[in-house]
Amino acid sequence: MAHEMTNSSPTSTKADRSRLALRDILFKAGPLIALIALIAYLSFASPKFATHTNFANIGRQTAPLAILAIGQTFAILTGGIDLSVAAIAAFASATTAVLMTSPLVLFGVDFGYLPIPVCLAAGLMVGLLAGLLNGWIIATFKIPDFIATLGTMQVFRGVALLTTQGQSVPGPSSTREMPASFTWLGTANVAGIPASIFIALICAGIAIYVLKFTALGRAVYAVGGNREAARVCGISIGRTKIYVYAISGLLASIAGILLVARLSAANALLAEGEELRSIASVVIGGTNLFGGEGGVIGSLIGAMLVGVLGNGLNLLGVSPFYQRIAQGVVVVLVVIFDQWRRRSLNKK
């Protein structure tokens, strides 16, 4: 009997290891499996879904959300959250649109229309400075990220309203339409693929490099994983927060500019609600809401899942009211599954 137990033990152990390894793969690949399953179902449910035109539309519409989610990933990895990303996107897009459609007048001097690169640089600078302000407030006054960005979200929306005077841009005060060379960013295709997708992929590639191969990336994971241990190791939590929110603000401005380029118009309420969709994308992609675990690739998959779900519900004729319910239920179920998965892994 002892001989039989000795012979069966290695086989049993090997089978257990294989089963655990398979479970780990399924857990980690859960968002991707869900995305593939959703695409397969919608392809069957709607003949209009699995077409090149529709996939291009999904990519074009999802690219700004994906960029917002990349910035949100940095914040959540440190154990924080950025509720101001959509407001920063609106502020940056409003600044860019106003500069493009109206001549610049300072101190009574008319400088004429600014070059498009200068207008883009101004929009990006607005996002960067807004993010730096978020990080500075959090680091200096030790305010919880949630509260700080909730407050600045209102501030940035208000400044966007002042910038646009509460009107759409181009509007009554504008003297020209959006330049075609600018709207190309949001509407054109390159080799049949929307240009905005390439911009999102470039942002993702840079973000992955920063998180994987730089000291800042290691600091981000360390602060989110164990703040006290990070402090003992000499990592400046305040400086890390400032960098993280600056990155989030800069990416939010890129997303806002892409939205304006696609819509050929800007207003202070642009991207309203996208802060919640960006958080949902990050959570669906497997990033731990408490920080220290996750990554950009998962957030991209999460953004695609959110985008595909919205597109599919539209094609199926589902009311926007029910769409909100469906998206909320998906987020709750994903968080429940994520917490169950983490408890299961910790028991091994």
Which tokens hold the place of 92? 């940056």
Does 63 fall in a domain?
A: yes
CB 72 within 8 A of CB 82: yes
Sign of torsion over alpha carbons 285, 286, 289, 294: negative
Does 348 fall in a domain?
A: no
Q: Among 36-40, 147-151, 177-181, 324-328, which stretch is predicted with the lowest mean pLDDT?
A: 324-328
The confidence band for 122, taking pLDDT boundaries of 50, 70 and 90, is: very high
C-alpha closest to that of 186 among 332, 61, 282, 71 = 61
CA–CA separation, 18 and 94 (whole Å): 54
The torsion angles phi and psi of 79, rounded to 5 degrees, stand at 85, 10
Q: Does residue 10 have a pLDDT over 80?
A: no
Does 75 fall in a domain?
A: yes
User: What pLDDT was estimated at residue 309?
Assistant: 93
Q: Which domain holds residue 267?
A: 33-343
Torsion of CA 170, 174, 179, 184, to 10 degrees: -10
For 251, what's the count of Cα atoms within 13 Å in the CB-facing half-sphere?
33
Q: Does residue 338 have a pLDDT over 80?
A: no
- What does the DSSP 8-state code read for residue 103? -
- The residue type found at 3 is H
DSSP 23-36: HHHHHHTHHHHHHH
Does 105 fall in a domain?
A: yes
Mean pLDDT of the chain: 90
Does 7 fall in a domain?
A: no
Domain count, the chain: 1
Does 13 fall in a domain?
A: no
User: For the segment 237-285, what is each residue's pLDDT rounded down to a tens digit?
Assistant: 999 999 999 999 999 999 999 999 999 999 999 999 899 999 999 999 9
User: For the segment 195-245, what is each residue's pLDDT rounded down to a tens digit?
Assistant: 999 999 999 999 999 999 999 999 999 999 999 999 999 999 999 999 999
Q: Does residue 181 have a pLDDT over 80?
A: yes
CB 299 within 8 A of CB 70: yes
Does 12 fall in a domain?
A: no
Q: Does residue 4 have a pLDDT over 50?
A: no
Q: What is the CATH number of the domain that holds 137?
A: 1.10.3470
The torsion angles phi and psi of 16, rounded to 5 degrees, stand at -65, -45
- Stated length of the chain: 348
